[in-house]
Amino acid sequence: MCRYFFGKQKWRLAVCDVIERLRAALQVDYVVVGGGNVAHMEELPPNTRIHGGS
């Protein structure tokens, strides 16, 4: 998903939605997200961790 196309707020909401769907579908304790754009997330859903990067 391109955050420039959606805009920051809609992009962040879409990322949070995907994280919640992954958690529900896979029934995991926590979700690990990574990549360059994860730095643009101001707040993550509960039980979500950031991997890698600086």
Partner residues linked to 7 by β-bridges = none
> Which domain CATH number covers 10?
3.30.420.40
Helix (H, G, I), strand (E, B) or coil at 52: coil
Which pLDDT value is given to residue 1?
56
User: Among residues 54, 36, 34, 52, which one has the least CA distance to residue 44?
Assistant: 34
Containing structural domain, residue 15: 3-51
For each successive 10 residues of the chain (54 residues), what is the average pLDDT? 78 91 93 86 90 68
Residue 49 token pair = 């961790």
**Phi-psi label, residue 35: left if phi above 0, alpha if psi -120 to 50, beta otherwise:** left
49: which DSSP letter?
A: E
Which pLDDT value is given to residue 2?
75
In the chain, how many domains are there?
1
Which pLDDT value is given to residue 6?
78
Helix (H, G, I), strand (E, B) or coil at 32: strand
Considering the entire predicted model, what is its pTM? 0.77
